A and B are shown apart, each in its own frame.
Chain A
């Protein structure tokens, strides 16, 4: 094709070329041209052939390439679809993952909560000191930012199962604990389920145990178990009895055990101001009682024997000796009265009786001194207690007016004042009453004895006088 313009140019040049040359020339020229032309045609054919071959080659090549493009496109499409499916798959999986993560978080939270609960519970539990590995396991489970994993969960579960087991058994062992004075002690320990733990020391001291605040050690409860409880516990420790006192209130009873043994001073202070007059009444009463008992003890002598002596002397008419005897025994009121009566000897009966009554009246105040006071004190003490009750109640109601009845703790101050004074008043009054009765009986007995002996003496005296009179009569007759 590319030879065509060249050929044409050549032809035209030949045509244009002036035919100044000869025919020969021309002929030659035309031959030459023809040859050229033929050449050119050959060339053109050759070229055309080449072109067509090339054309064929190119088209073949194109076809191959096209084919390759197509196949590539196909593959691309294929891969694109695949990618999209994968994207979708990823999205779905991501959603699933988020869902699962939520679940895991819930589980984690649950486990942590339950581990915390377990920690709180084990701190309160009596069994913890026997299982020191508990705190390790719990610390592992409670580690922040880490999922405890199946092992952790299993450990936690086994802690609970251990606790369950322990709550059903009675364990007896030797171990250490913190004593009532805060020192470390070692002794026999007994644990009944998760209810109660108790200890016995070498010297026989008994007591109950509570876990300390961090739960790793046992600590003695403040306050002594009572006599009957101690007996039971001792028997159990020795294996003799099958009964053991158990605190089913989970420690509330122990608090009360300690609280019941609070000091006297605290108790008195709860009673308010009116406690002091009541105590004063009690002290005065005790003083009077001691004084009276002392006095009356001195007075009580063997009056029967004295009386026999006196009567014998009277019968024999040994007046002087009798008087001396009475003076010697003047610590006994009976003798004093008789000595007093003796001075009126030989007078009429009225005078002797009057003298005797006078002596008795003189003795009575000494004997009965302070007894009415004691009686009054016994009556005053409960009244003071009642006064305290009323005062305490007034306080309580004032508090109620101020704060309402919402908090019972606020009211308990006034109420305890009311009750403590009543209690103290009664506690003072009851012994005073009994002691007063005893003293009164004793005084009554002494007075009765005095009256009896005095009358006996007066009669003896008068008989003597009568006999004298009769003798006089006889003498007169």
Chain B
């Protein structure tokens, strides 16, 4: 019953907010879905991450058997690097960079979207404010300022959309910021991993698996 009431109240709020509540709701859903999916992926990858040495050991001893053990990107970089590496260390660095690039891109993927959508949400809220104000002034031009009840609907529309825009934007920006920092850290760790990997493998002869 309580939940039903809550739903009712939400619907009421939704209706009094006007038509701009629908895109705002959509934005909010997209932002939260992206952020949660991204956050879970980050956490899982972070959990699985191992040092380059361990990775190498795992790769050597149980090649292809237990692929789920290290983080996906570590495994991918390692296997492709070992496949492609050669004698020249400079060239090796280039190879690692080229292997790393798509992973770095993936690391930052959808964070930009979260941030831009969070930036759009207050604009939509502002749009709702303006729309509500237009309604209000239409009412004023029709009834004058006497009819406070009619005025209130436009004003509530204006305020509720602004409020919702901010409610959508603030967590979005915070989540986006958090994820952005995590992504940057992940990129830094990838670079560290690559350097460690290169150091480890430099002593080995090319072509051995």
Could you list which residues of chain A lie within 8 angstroms of chain B, going by C-beta atoms?
A: 228, 249, 252-253, 255-256, 259-260, 349, 382, 408-409, 412, 415-416, 419-420, 422-423, 426-427, 429-430, 433-434, 437, 441, 444-445, 448-449, 451-452, 455-456, 458-459, 462-463, 466
Q: Given A382-B123, A426-B126, A437-B112, A416 and B105 touching (CB < 8 A)?
A: no
Contacting pair A463 B101 (CB below 8 A): no
* Complexed CA–CA distance, A252 and B153 (Å): 12
Contacting pair B91 A434 (CB below 8 A): no
* Complexed CA–CA distance, A255 and B139 (Å): 10
Contacting A at CB under 8 A, from B123-146, are 123-124, 126-127, 130-131, 133-135, 137-145
Which of these binds chain A: B42-50, B113-121, B171-179?
Answer: B113-121
Cβ–Cβ < 8 Å partners of B147 in chain A:
252
Contacting pair A419 B130 (CB below 8 A): yes
Which of these binds chain A: B70-78, B92-100, B187-195?
Answer: B92-100
* Complexed CA–CA distance, A419 and B157 (Å): 14
A424 to chain B minimum Cβ distance, whole angstroms, is 9
A37 to chain B minimum Cβ distance, whole angstroms, is 132
- Tell me, yes or no, whether B102 is within 8 Å of chain A by CB: yes
* Complexed CA–CA distance, A420 and B91 (Å): 60
* Complexed CA–CA distance, A460 and B145 (Å): 77
Q: Nearest CB to that of B124 among chain A residues?
A: A430
* Complexed CA–CA distance, A416 and B137 (Å): 7
- Tell me, yes or no, whether B149 is within 8 Å of chain A by CB: yes
Q: In the complex, which of the residues B91, B124, B134 contacts A419, with contact meaning CB atoms closer than 8 Å?
A: B134
Q: In the complex, which of the residues B101, B117, B130 contacts A426, with contact meaning CB atoms closer than 8 Å?
A: B130
Q: Nearest CB to that of A249 among chain B residues?
A: B149
Contacting pair B105 A423 (CB below 8 A): no
1/0 per position for B143-169, CB-CB distance to A under 8 A?
111010110010000000000000000
Which of these binds chain A: B31-39, B56-64, B81-89, B196-204?
Answer: B81-89
Closest 5 CB pairs of A and B: A455-B98, A412-B141, A426-B127, A423-B130, A437-B116
Q: Given A252-B143, A426-B126, A441-B112, A415 and B137 touching (CB < 8 A)?
A: yes
Contacting pair A448 B101 (CB below 8 A): yes
Q: Given A420-B134, A422-B130, A452-B101, A409 and B141 touching (CB < 8 A)?
A: yes
| Interface of A: prevailing SS | helix
* Complexed CA–CA distance, A463 and B152 (Å): 74
Q: Nearest CB to that of B116 among chain A residues?
A: A437
Q: Nearest CB to that of A429 among chain B residues?
A: B123
A428 to chain B minimum Cβ distance, whole angstroms, is 10
Contacting pair A249 B150 (CB below 8 A): yes
Cβ–Cβ < 8 Å partners of A260 in chain B:
135
Q: Nearest CB to that of B84 among chain A residues?
A: A459
Q: Nearest CB to that of A451 among chain B residues?
A: B101
Contacting pair A256 B150 (CB below 8 A): yes
Cβ–Cβ < 8 Å partners of A462 in chain B:
88, 91
Cβ–Cβ < 8 Å partners of A448 in chain B:
101-102, 105
Q: Given A423-B127, A426-B126, A455-B94, A412 and B101 touching (CB < 8 A)?
A: no
Contacting pair B127 A459 (CB below 8 A): no
* Complexed CA–CA distance, A256 and B137 (Å): 12
- Tell me, yes or no, whether B54 is within 8 Å of chain A by CB: no
A-B contact number at CB 8 A: 100
Seed contacts A256-B142, A426-B123; 18 additional CB < 8 Å A-B pairs: A249-B150, A252-B150, A256-B139, A349-B91, A408-B140, A409-B141, A415-B133, A415-B137, A416-B141, A419-B130, A419-B134, A433-B116, A437-B112, A452-B98, A456-B98, A459-B94, A459-B98, A466-B88
- Tell me, yes or no, whether B15 is within 8 Å of chain A by CB: yes
Q: In the complex, which of the residues B91, B105, B142 contacts A444, with contact meaning CB atoms closer than 8 Å?
A: B105
Q: Nearest CB to that of A454 among chain B residues?
A: B98
Q: Nearest CB to that of A413 among chain B residues?
A: B141
A474 to chain B minimum Cβ distance, whole angstroms, is 14
* Complexed CA–CA distance, A228 and B97 (Å): 56
* Complexed CA–CA distance, A459 and B139 (Å): 70
Contacting pair A437 B98 (CB below 8 A): no
Cβ–Cβ < 8 Å partners of B127 in chain A:
423, 426-427, 430
Cβ–Cβ < 8 Å partners of A253 in chain B:
150
A137 to chain B minimum Cβ distance, whole angstroms, is 34
Cβ–Cβ < 8 Å partners of A434 in chain B:
116-117, 120
Cβ–Cβ < 8 Å partners of A459 in chain B:
84, 91, 94-95, 98
* Complexed CA–CA distance, A257 and B88 (Å): 76
CB<8 Å pairs between A and B, sample of 10:
A256-B153, A259-B138, A408-B144, A409-B141, A415-B137, A422-B126, A426-B126, A426-B127, A437-B112, A459-B94
Cβ–Cβ < 8 Å partners of B116 in chain A:
433-434, 437
Contacting pair B120 A416 (CB below 8 A): no
Q: In the complex, which of the residues B87, B88, B113 contacts A441, with contact meaning CB atoms closer than 8 Å?
A: B113
Cβ–Cβ < 8 Å partners of B126 in chain A:
422, 426
B19 to chain A minimum Cβ distance, whole angstroms, is 9
- Of A382, A459, A466, most buried by chain B (CB within 10 Å of CB) is A459
Cβ–Cβ < 8 Å partners of A426 in chain B:
123-124, 126-127, 130
Contacting pair A419 B137 (CB below 8 A): yes
Q: Nearest CB to that of A437 among chain B residues?
A: B116
Q: Nearest CB to that of B144 among chain A residues?
A: A408
Cβ–Cβ < 8 Å partners of A429 in chain B:
123
Q: Nearest CB to that of B146 among chain A residues?
A: A408
Q: Nearest CB to that of B80 among chain A residues?
A: A456
Cβ–Cβ < 8 Å partners of B95 in chain A:
455, 459
Q: Nearest CB to that of A420 among chain B residues?
A: B134
Cβ–Cβ < 8 Å partners of B145 in chain A:
408
B17 to chain A minimum Cβ distance, whole angstroms, is 13
* Complexed CA–CA distance, A249 and B91 (Å): 80
Cβ–Cβ < 8 Å partners of A412 in chain B:
137-138, 140-141
Q: Nearest CB to that of B101 among chain A residues?
A: A452
